[in-house]
């Protein structure tokens, strides 16, 4: 059997004209669907002076009001539902750091859509029907585990549903079941590497890692690829758009994340004013779902920062637009002594120092109105705080304090890693 390069060649390589026509048809359907089936959406559209018939061209998208995480929270638990309650088959939820959770509900149609997006990602990463995939994000309210699962079922993979935690068992499973691909939250890859080093073993069958849920630097990716001897892909998604993989993944060409454009419209806006930004300019990415049934999103403000990298056909043959890998969340931008930076930039700079290990913390200290930064990082013997400070100063343009810890000294997380801590002195 010949190797699959695409899961859905027709959808993934559609011409721009075909794509635009399909997007318009689906946008019109989505607006009509939410208008007809949900009071919250109808009120929102009415307030903006929009009726479904007003959407005549893709440019009309800009007339539609934005949707925010607060809208999801305010409509908790199911007030955004556009399908009958008895048609819901699954739900996922993200809690975030503040209060009320965000809920996503799925009808059968939505589960098929999610599986389709994830199967495209898995095949784009090089997985083939029959290959073994170990799924390491948690199975539960977090969408990660089930997202990989639904996609892998559709793509015909041999699933090892390991979920998170118990790293020694994860390694045993990978070895015993000759696992070819893993799906994981990025920071968990470091846990695996740590234990492999401890045990002095390798994973000879592993070739593919699909990592996401957090921003990660190129240098972190390089290290993971080198130690595990794999190709690592960056998968993107969120509860609000329907979960992991819905908003795409990068391909082997490494020219940005392919957004599944027949499924979502992508805009970049100024994170402060909400004004649309031109291609190439950095801003907040905003998604509109085109096929979601239970809880469609119209102009969802993700708070994630990126830019449109290209709308040209990619070297991999896919025609969907590409966005840069996510720089960070608007809310995570740190401003210290007039310098703006994201945790990912600190990570990149740290990982450039030989002997520095992937576990680190950024502590923002507020000393009576004066902000200082301390970076705690694990490193091998020989790396000093001064070396860390000097390199960060060179790369970031300001001088944080650098404290070096022994391997294993900083706390570990099984899910998304918490990297930034704010303390008042």
Binding site residues, ligand DLL, CB under 6 A: 94, 137, 143-144, 185, 212-215, 234-239, 243-244, 302, 304, 326, 329
DSSP H or E segment with residue 310:
strand 308-310
Q: Least distance (Å) from ligand DLL to the CB of residue 350?
A: 18
Number of neighbouring beta carbons within 10 Å of residue 86? 7
Q: Considering beta carbons, is residue 183 or 400 the nearer one to ligand DLL?
A: 183
Residue nearest to ligand DLL (CB): 212
Q: Least distance (Å) from ligand DLL to the CB of residue 145?
A: 8
Tell me how far CA of residue 256 lies from CA of 234, 261, 286, 308, in angstroms: 9, 14, 16, 9
Q: Which three-class secondary structure state does DSSP give residue 23?
A: helix
Tell me how far CA of residue 183 lies from CA of 39, 115, 118, 158, 393, in angstroms: 38, 15, 11, 13, 35
d(CA 325, CA 250): 8
Q: Considering beta carbons, is residue 13 or 289 the nearer one to ligand DLL?
A: 289
d(CA 186, CA 356): 17
Q: Least distance (Å) from ligand DLL to the CB of residue 251?
A: 14
Q: Considering beta carbons, is residue 20 or 100 the nearer one to ligand DLL?
A: 100
Q: Who's near 21: CB < 8 A, 6+ residues apart?
A: none
Q: Least distance (Å) from ligand DLL to the CB of residue 57?
A: 29
Q: Least distance (Å) from ligand DLL to the CB of residue 20?
A: 26
Q: Which residue has the tokens 């706390």?
A: 411
Q: Considering beta carbons, is residue 232 or 314 the nearer one to ligand DLL?
A: 232
Q: Considering beta carbons, is residue 185 or 357 the nearer one to ligand DLL?
A: 185
In this structure, are strands 334-336 and 257-258 parallel, antiparallel, or unpaired?
unpaired
Query: Which tokens is 393 given?
Result: 């100063």
Q: Least distance (Å) from ligand DLL to the CB of residue 303?
A: 7
Q: Considering beta carbons, is residue 160 or 244 the nearer one to ligand DLL?
A: 244
């Amino acid at each position: 059997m010949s190797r699959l390069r695409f899961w859905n060649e027709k959808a993934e390589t559609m011409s721009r004209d075909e794509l635009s026509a399909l997007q318009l048809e689906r946008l019109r359907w989505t607006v009509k669907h939410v208008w007809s089936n949900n009071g919250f959406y109808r009120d929102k559209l009415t307030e903006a002076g929009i009726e479904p018939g007003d959407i005549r061209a893709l440019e009309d998208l800009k007339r539609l009001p934005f949707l925010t995480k607060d809208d999801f929270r305010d409509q908790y638990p199911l007030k955004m539902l556009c399908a009958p309650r008895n048609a819901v088959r699954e739900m996922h939820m993200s809690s975030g750091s503040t209060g009320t959770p965000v809920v996503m509900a799925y009808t059968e149609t939505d589960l098929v859509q999610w599986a389709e997006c994830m199967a495209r990602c898995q095949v784009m990463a090089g997985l083939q029907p029959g290959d073994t995939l170990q799924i390491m994000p948690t199975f539960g309210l977090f969408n990660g585990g089930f997202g990989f699962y639904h996609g892998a079922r559709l793509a015909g993979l041999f699933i090892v549903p390991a979920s998170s935690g118990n790293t020694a068992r994860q390694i045993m499973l990978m070895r015993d079941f000759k696992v070819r691909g893993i799906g994981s939250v990025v920071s968990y890859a470091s846990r695996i590497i740590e234990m492999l080093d401890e045990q002095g073993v390798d994973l000879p069958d592993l070739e593919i890692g699909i990592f996401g849920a957090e921003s990660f630097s190129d240098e972190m990716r390089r290290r993971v690829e080198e130690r595990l001897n794999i190709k690592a892909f960056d998968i993107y998604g969120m509860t609000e758009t329907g979960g992991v993989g819905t908003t795409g993944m990068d391909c082997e060409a490494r020219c940005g994340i392919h957004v599944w454009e027949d499924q979502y419209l992508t805009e970049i806006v100024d994170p402060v004013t909400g004004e649309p930004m031109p291609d190439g300019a950095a801003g907040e990415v905003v998604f509109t779902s085109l096929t979601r049934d239970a809880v469609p999103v119209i102009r969802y403000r993700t708070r994630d920062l990126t830019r449109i990298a290209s709308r040209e056909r990619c070297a991999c043959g896919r025609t969907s637009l590409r966005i840069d890998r996510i720089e960070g969340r608007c809310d995570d931008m740190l401003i210290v002594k007039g310098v703006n930076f994201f945790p990912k930039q600190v990570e990149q700079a740290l990982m450039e120092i030989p002997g520095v290990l992937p576990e680190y913390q950024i502590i923002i200290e507020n000393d009576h109105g004066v902000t200082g930064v301390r970076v705690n990082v694990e490193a091998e013997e020989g790396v000093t705080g001064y070396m860390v400070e000097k390199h960060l100063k060179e790369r970031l343009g300001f001088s944080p304090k650098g404290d070096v810890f022994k391997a294993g000294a900083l706390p570990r997380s099984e899910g998304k890693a918490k990297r930034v801590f704010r303390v008042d002195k």
